[in-house]
Each structure stands twice: as C-alpha cells, then as structure tokens.
Structure 1
Amino acid sequence: MQTNFDKLFINGEWVKGRSKSVITNTNPFDQSELLTIQAASKEDVDHAYKSSEQAQTKWAQEPPQVKREILEKAVHLVEQNKDMIIDWLIKESGSTYMKAAGEVKVSINSMKEAVTYPYRMEGKILPSQVPGKENRVYREPLGVVGVISPWNFPFHLAVRSIATALATGNGVVVKPATHTPVTGGLLFASIFEEAGLPKGLLNVVVGKGSEIGDDIVTHPIPRLISFTGSTEVGRHIGELAGKNLKKTALELGGNNVFIVLDDADIHNAVESALFGKFYHQGQICMSINRIMVQQEVYEEFVEAFVSRVKDLTVGNPANKGTQIGPLIDQDQADRILKDIESSKAEGAELILGGNSEGNLLYPTVLTGVNNHMPIAKNEIFGPVAAIIPFKDDEEAMKLANEHPYGLSGAIHSSTERGTALASTIHTGMIHINDQSVNDEPHMPFGGEKDSGLGRFNGEWALEEFTTVKWVGVQHVRRDYGPFIEKK
C-alpha cells in the first residue's frame, strides 16, 4: 500500500496538484507538521471527474462478483492496516485511541454492508394496464458521485459513501476536509488501489474549499453530492446542487437532546450522558448538545454527573488512557469559550471547567441553562455539558422541538413512556435508555429539518446512490384506437 500521502490521486496516478496553494497538515494536539500537499486546482477537479466518468461506464457493466471481490479485498486491507489507520486518526484528527479504534471498527462494518450491495441491485416486474404489456423496473448506478468528507470522523464518514457508491456501480471523486486529507481521502486511494479497483474510478482531490469547493458540486459530471458537515455549508451545497438538478445526501449539524425523566435509572443516565457528551470531545454531529433533566431528579443527576466528569483524563490522545483530547483547532476552542461566557452572563452557572490549554478544552459543566442561551441554542461541538431543568413531558417535548435541528437524541425513562415521548420529537433518530451517538450499518442514518436530507446505510443507502429505469415491453401488437392503421 502507498503510505506517502503528499500527492493527489487522479486517474490511478499519484500526482502533484496544480494549484499555487499548499495544504499544511498538522497535529491538533501539538501543532507539529505531518505533511504538506500541493493543492488541487479546478483543472485537477475536471480531470478527476472525467477520469471517473470514463472508468465508470465499464465498471457499471461488471458482474456483481467482480465488484464484491474488490470490496472484500478493501475490507481485508483495512483490517490488516488497522494500527496504521488508528495512528493517522490520532495524529491527524486528534482522536483518542478509544475513538480511533472505534471509528475503524464501525468503518469495517460499514464496508462489509457495502460488500452485499452488488447482489442487492434488485429490479421488479410489474403488471401493466395495457393488454399484452410487461413493465420492468431496473435499478442502475447514478454515474459519478462527488463525496465531501468531514474532519471529525473522517475515515468512517468518507468510506460509508465511497464504498456504497463503488458497490452500486458508480465512480467517485472525493474532496476531504483540509484538516484531514489522509484519513478522509488519501488512505482510500491507497486501499482501493491495492485492492485492484480499476484505474480512474476513484479519485481524491485535496484542496481549499474557497478554490475548488463549488466546482466539486457544480461540475456537470457528478449526479449526486454526498456531504457531511455544517448546516451552513450544507445549505450552500444544496443550493448549488439544486440549480444544477443534482441529488444530494446531506448529513448536517445537530442540537441533540438527552432527556432524563423522573422515573429514569439515574446511574445509567449519567453513564450514557458521559459517553454521548464527551466521546471525541463532543465533536460529533450526534453528540449530546442539551441535557434536559426533570426537576424532581435534577439535583441528583447533576451531582452524580459532575462527580463522573471530574474523573475524565485530559491530554495527549496518543496515550491510551486519555479520554478527552484536543479540539481540531484553536478557532473551535475560542468559539466555545465565547458561548460559555455569554451564557454565564445570561445566568448559567459554571460548575466545572470552562478553561483551555492550547486546543485542549477541559470538560465543562453548566447548570441553570435555558433553551435560549448560546450554549444551548448553538451546536457546541465540544466537551461542554449544558444542563436544562424542565417540568413535565409536555415541556420536554416543547423544548426539544424548539430549535431547527433534528438529527439524533436520547430519552431515559420507562420503555413505554420514553417511546411515547420519542414519537413527539422531530428527529431522524432517537434512542431509549441509551445515548445519542449510534450508527449501525443496516439502519437508516440521517436527520430532519436543518439536520439534512436523505439517509445513509442499508437499503436506504441503496436508494440514495442509485436510480431506477422503467422499461416497458409490449409483447403483442397494441391497439391504439382511432390511430389504428386503416386497411
């Protein structure tokens, strides 16, 4: 496998980008330089898409066992190179060892689901209202897919689109986030090159969004743009794609609620909240954003939760015992600290944390928060727990639905009461007596409202990454009524 990642991957070749810009890849913990890459230009994007289009025509016609064999080889390569991938996730994205290992595991599971897709490209034969006619529906690849991957879970959130697109007969062009060009893109070029993927089918262009971001979307070749990232950028991509009549699969921001009702098991709720809030420093679209606790158990929950947060280990993510590593950059830390200070000024009480050291933001707990404070209204994307009291189930529903996001969530209560409340919350995913960070390769993953469009995983991903064609077959001569030939 290729392990030198200072070039782009276009048309089966490792090439230098043609932009004048340089992407400097740094470790978010100690700011050490990992590598530099000459960035991609608009010409590179054009070359990548044209190469993928040319290769895709033949790839679409390959029998399912050929596609499956290459995908299986890619899975084996990920398994064999797991330690190398984990190392890159730690040093490039600031992942703790636990998070990096977990990300590789969920990525392998996602790839294994994609291995099944070549044999699931099912069609249908349906009846017709016309005598002697047969209606056939064929499922076909879209053509070429553009994938824009994020920096927080770069390996998993890239491969779920890359593997799905390839398995369903598409070509792919990937633009990874500039913070994570290796784990969000270039690693896959190396993996699939080694697995024997046809030349030109998968391309990776590393470049600045300001230079090539719009071109990835507006180029005439891709028929679907798969994007994971902020709602602000997702809106822009959706607008560009809509103008060009392209499909989009958008997984965007979240303001996920974690609701603790008065009949909850408080110990289980605390442990769930600890994971759902602080896993990967809270830098996950599904992370808990608002912890909402019913008044009767509010003090009990806060006391137990703060006690557990105090035990979290903060530091170098390369140390296996570290639970809280760095944020991706200083701007993120500064943004969150500003929201903390603004919320304090509005009456929130800082119970723990609220301080940073470089890109490390120490675990923070705020109580007395209301739904309109910045720390509750904005997507935190950091290790800050905002705890909001509420009166009853109706108020919990109202508070949960008040903000425009709807990605994930969790409720702790009895099964039936929790499920009843879950049915009233406008979100794509929600979990009873669990936390909000869940992803299973066979289950529909995606959000409502400002949290995005479409669904990833399983049969729902098959729908997103393919199209259908109606082929009508007239077996006997059709009677066209008044247009019939007169003899």
Structure 2
Amino acid sequence: MSAFAKWNLQFIGGQWREGRSQTVYTDQNPYNESTLVQIRLASAEDVDQAYRAAKEAQQEWEAVNAYQKVAVMEKAAELLKERREEIIRILIEENGASHLKANIEADAAMGILKEAATFPLRMQGKIMPSVIPGKENRIYHKPAGVAGIISPFNFPFHLTMRSLAPALAAGNGVVLKPDQQTMISGGLFLGKLFDDAGIPKGLLNVTVCRSAEIGDAFVEHPIPRIISFTGSTPVGRHIGELCGKHLKRVALELGGNNVMLVLKDADIERAAGSAAFGKFLNSGQICMSLNRIIVERPAYEGFVKAFVERASRLKYGDPRDKDVVVGPLINHRQVERIQKLIDQSLAAGAQYALQGKVEGNVFAPTILTHVTNDMPIAQEEIFGPAVGVIVVDSEEEAIRVANDSEYGLSGAVHAGSIEHGVEVAKQIETGMIHVNDQGVNDEPIVAFGGEKASGLGRYGGEWALHEFTTVKWISVQLQPREYPF
C-alpha cells in the first residue's frame, strides 16, 4: 500500500469520510506525475456541514480554560516534531519541494505554531474609566467565531499553519480549503495533527473541493465571520468583493512583483548570493520571490556576471536528490505560462544572460538582461525560476522603477551603507523590505503582509492575534445613574 493511501478522505465534523461530490481528484507528484492518491471531492453540502460543525464546536472550545488551550497547542507542536520527517517526505512528493525548502517550511510552520500556543494567555482585556459617574468600561478580547481559510500550493504547510494555528489558539472554529494539488501537506495532514492533539471534534474541518463545482459557497456561507485567503491577486479581489458584500472580515495575502535594488556601492558578491536564494528557492514559487532586480549602472556588469555564475551552479531536477535546489513547478501549465512571458520579453528586446533548460515540469534557472520595466517579465508575477535584471542610471530612477507596479509585498535593498539602504527602503511602496538581504523572509513574531494589490491585513505575532479576534465593550454601572429624563 502506498504511504499516501490513507489520505483519501475528507475531515468533517470530527470524522474522516468520503466527500459527496461526483468528482474524484487525483493527487500527483509534480516531478514525475505519478499518482499519490485519489479522493472524492467535497460538495457544497459538505462545506455547509463543515461550517455547522465548526460553529457548534467553537462554542465548546471558547469556554475551555486558556491553560488547557495552551496545552493542546503545545501538544500539536510535540506531535509535529515527532512527525517532521513525514511532512518533509509529503512536501517533497506532493509539492515538489527540495529537501532544503521542505526543511525551511517545516521550521517556519513550527515557529508559527509555537508562537500561536501563547495566544490563549494573551487574550487580554482591560478596564477603562468612564465619563459617566459610577461606571467602568470593560474591554474584552474574544474569538471572532468561525474562520474560513483558503490556502495555496506553493508553501502549503507553512502558509496554512500561518492562519490555522492563530485562528484555533484564539478560540475560533475553522473550515479549511487547501489547494487540491497540495491537499495533504496543506490540509489533511494538519487535520490529523490537531485532531490527535485533542481539539474538540468538529472544531477543525478540512474540505478538499473544487471552486468550479461549489462556486462561492465557501466564502458566502453565513457562518464564517472571517475569510483568510493566500493566493493570486485576481482571486483575492473576488474574495474581497464577496466579503464586502456580506460584511465579513477578510485577510488577503496576494501576489507580489518584488524588487531587489542593487545600489552602486553595494557588495556585489553579497548581492548576487542574496539574489540567487531570493529568486530560486522553491523554484521561485513564493509570493516573496524576487521578480525584478534593479541595478545601478556602475554595479550592473559585475552583478550580472556574479549572479549568472551562482545561478548556473544550482542543481536542478528530481527533488528527492538532496543536492537539488530547483525542483519542478507544480504543473506544466506553469511551465508554459513562464515560457510565454520569457518569449514575449525576448521579442521586446530582452536577452538571455542564462538560458535554463526545460525538462518536464522542471524549469532550470533563467536570467534575462536588457529588460525594461514595461516588459511582461517585469510586469507580471513570474512565480517561477526566471528573473529580469533592469539597469538604471541613478538611485532616484531605481526607486521610481521599483514603485512602478501595482504590487507591494516584499523586496530588498543592497547598499554599502546600511542606514542609506534603510532610507531607500523607506521609499519603496511595499509592506516588507530587507536591507542587504533578499525578499523571502517570514518570522513568527513580525508583521507579515503587503500593500496595494498585494493584500490586506497582517499575519504574524500580535498582528495575527488581532486578525482572528474581535473586541467587545461591556460597561458596568456600579452606582445608580441619574438621567436627564
């Protein structure tokens, strides 16, 4: 029996059972396209039952003592430590993750889980004075209720945990809709993990379903008060519209067109090393991956040479090989999409500095030069192992070009002077930016999120606690109040 055969059931109402859809989905290895497991998808009726189960269980969970909640979250962390090798194997086989990326992802998810385990003891209220004599105002921090979480394929385990652990720890019920392509690492594995940790039955539900079949039912259902979505900007816009229509809170972590600025006094080798990691980790399939590298002319030739040298040394291919850095893209549609962006940019005047081979779903590192900011390779989110290098004649031009994008998620500035780098970073319209580093950074206690078309809200630490809670004001009239009539 395959090691993945057990992941063939939905997790709804505390039970592992078949979905009610007529569609059977085949979960595949993106490198060799072998079948891992098949699952009958969930229907709109299944989603409804999942939300109802979450609402009922949430009332029980909210009443649980904070220290008991902490114990459950800590138990989940213990179980994750025990099952670390299992999730790494799943990420390699289902997500096409390299060993390096899978380990980074497991560590990041553990960090979020440990931080979230502190949340039950941080649901602090306070007493405030009142303008009314004899009254006190009490402010209570409460769970929002039920959250609907939609997670992506690229960092499925971590990006699901980033919403799921804070939502549960803050006292909410959850219905999770993972990307089908990573339904195990982004969904079912987590359902099993928290179920074994001892959460109430029905508190967490995992529904593997197809939006084309259930429509907008997952978002529009009347029970969830919060929708957390990580994915593309077009889908995020649609979800935001639906949440606005139904007056639901929404947290959106969307696409990026992230820049790295290499100023003329930057350490070229250091910048090239940052660029290689920030572009090619997980084959560039990260919302924070570098999409454009903007270089001041005095540093341009040296940077391109050093960057190409580093990128050309990266091993690509089968992610089961521990030396492989660049594994497969999630499916062949992504290969074709990226090649189209490259071809269009070449036709517009870009040139190969490094032309990567395409073997199945594996796209080897590719670098374009003579790129201008209006080319497809610069304007579109690449989400793969290709990047354009843009040369500019001044720092002011670099800043202008960097901001000439509808996105604003992450980025980086390399400069000889750290404080000068910070001053430049302040001028880039983005939610996160890193000096003398690259754009792929995510820490459990720091605010994570974007500006403009890159999203709404913030994850991480106290900001995540805020996203999944609400505030209630209760006033207490301690002494009789005199009214004017």
Is TM-score (shorter-chain normalized) higher than 0.5?
A: yes
One-letter code aligned to 1:224: I
How far 1:355 sits from its partner (Å)?
A: 3.5
Q: Distance in 2 between matches of 1:26 and 1:298?
A: 42
Q: How big is the alpha-carbon RMSD for the aligned residues of Structure 1 and Structure 2?
A: 1.1
Q: Give 1:156's aligned residue.
A: 158
Distance 1:44 1:285, change over 3 A: same
Amino acid of the residue matched to residue 402 of structure 1? D
**What do residues 415-446 of structure 1 show as CA deviations (whole Å, max 9, x unaligned)?**
11111111111110000000000000000000
What amino acid is aligned across from residue 182 of structure 2 in structure 1? T
| Matching residue of 1:175 | 177
| Paired residue secondary structure (2:88) | helix
3-state SS of paired residue (1:75): helix
1:212 is displaced (CA, Å) by 2.6
Larger displacement relative to structure 2 (127-136 or 94-103): 127-136
Matched position secondary structure for 1:103: helix
State the alpha-carbon separation in 2 of the partners of residues 373 and 332 from structure 1. 19
Distance in 2 between the 1:200 and 1:179 partners? 24
Q: 2:151, 2:178 within 8 Å by CA — same for their partners in 1?
A: yes
1:385 is displaced (CA, Å) by 1.9
TM-fit CA distance, 1:354? 4.4
2:419 equivalent to 1:416: yes
- Find out whether 1:139 has 2:106 as its counterpart: no
1:43 is matched with which residue? 45
- Residue type of the alignment partner of 1:462: L
> Aligned equivalents of 2:171 and 2:203: distance in 1?
10
1:317 maps to 319
Alpha-carbon distance between aligned partners in 1 of 2:317 and 2:239, rounded to the nearest angstrom:
36
Residue of structure 1 in register with 2:468 after alignment: 465
Structure 2 CA distance for aligned equivalents of residues 272 and 208 of structure 1: 37
Secondary structure at 2:38's aligned position in 1? strand
C-alpha deviations, 1:98-123, integer Å up to 9, x for none? Answer: 00011001100110000000000011
Deviation at 1:209, TM superposition (A): 1.5
Letter matched to residue 436 of structure 1: G
2:253 partner letter: E
Amino-acid identity (%): 55
> Deviation at 1:213?
5.0
Q: 2:379 pairs with 371, 377, 380, which one? A: 377
Match of 1:478, SS state, is coil
2:428 alignment counterpart: 425
1:450 aligned to 450, 453, 459, which one? 453
Aligned residues of 2:60 and 2:200 also touching (Cα < 8 A): no
Report the AA paired with residue 452 of structure 1. G
Distance in 2 separating the partners of 1:305 and 1:167: 43
> Partners in 2 of 1:305 and 1:51 — Cα distance?
52
Deviation track 1:121-156 (CA, whole Å, cap 9, x = no partner) reads 011211111111111110000110000010000000
Say whether 1:258 aligns with 2:260: yes
* Residue 371 of structure 1, CA deviation: 0.4
Q: For residue 471 of structure 2, what is the amino acid of its counterpart?
A: V
CA distance in 2, matches of 1:461, 1:213: 28
State the one-letter code of the partner of 1:405.
Answer: Y
Q: Which amino acid aligns with 1:127?
A: P
Q: Report the counterpart of residue 294 of structure 1 in structure 2.
A: 296
Deviation for aligned residue 1:4: 1.1
Secondary structure at the counterpart of residue 174 of structure 1? strand
Residue from 323, 327, 330 that aligns with 2:329:
327
The amino acid across from 1:348 in the alignment is A
Determine the structure 1 residue equivalent to 2:94.
92
Q: Deviations over 1:172-200 (max 9, x none)?
A: 00000011000010001111111111101
Task: Provide the C-alpha distance between the structure 2 equivalents of 1:438 and 1:432, rounded to a whole number of angstroms.
Answer: 12
Partners of 2:79 and 2:480 lie apart in 1 by 55
1:63-118 CA distance string (max 9 Å, x none): 11111111111101111011110000001011001000110011001100000000
Q: Is the 8 A contact 1:2 1:190 kept in 2?
A: no
CA distance in 2, matches of 1:220, 1:312: 49
8 A contact 1:261–1:293 mirrored in 2: yes
> Could you say what secondary structure the match of 1:56 adopts?
helix
1:480 is matched with which residue?
483
Q: Secondary structure at the match of 2:334?
A: helix
Matches of 1:124 and 1:259, distance apart in 2: 45
Aligned to 1:204: 206
| 2:319 counterpart letter in structure 1 | P
Whole-Å Cα distance in 1 between the matches of residues 426 and 316 of structure 2?
37
Rounded to whole Å, the distance in 2 between the matches of 1:300 and 1:470 is 60
- What residue identity is the alignment partner of 2:449? G
Q: Which SS does the other structure have where 1:200 is aligned?
A: coil
The aligned residue for residue 69 of structure 1 is 71
Query: 2: distance between equivalents of 1:412 and 1:456?
Result: 26
Find the counterpart in structure 1 of residue 392 from structure 2: 390
After superposition, the C-alpha distances for 1:298-351 in whole angstroms (9 at most, x for unaligned) are 001001111111101011001100011000000000000001010001100112
Offset of 1:275 from its aligned partner?
0.2
Residue 230 of structure 1 and its aligned partner are, at CA, apart by: 0.2
CA contact 1:340–1:354 (8 Å) conserved in 2: no
Contact 2:47 / 2:207 at 8 angstroms: preserved in 1?
yes
Counterpart position of 1:81: 83
- Separation (CA, whole Å) in 1 of partners of 2:56 and 2:13: 10
Shift of 1:157: 0.4
Shift in Å, 1:356: 1.1
Contact 2:98 / 2:325 at 8 angstroms: preserved in 1?
yes
Secondary structure of 1:203's counterpart equals strand
Partner of residue 437, structure 1: 440
**1:337, 1:354 within 8 Å by CA — same for their partners in 2?**
no
Residue 12 of structure 2: aligned partner: 10
Q: TM-score, normalised by structure 2?
A: 0.98
3-state DSSP of counterpart to 1:366: strand
Q: Tell me the secondary structure at the aligned position of residue 382 of structure 1.
A: coil
* Equivalent residue in structure 1 for 2:109, among 91, 107, 111: 107
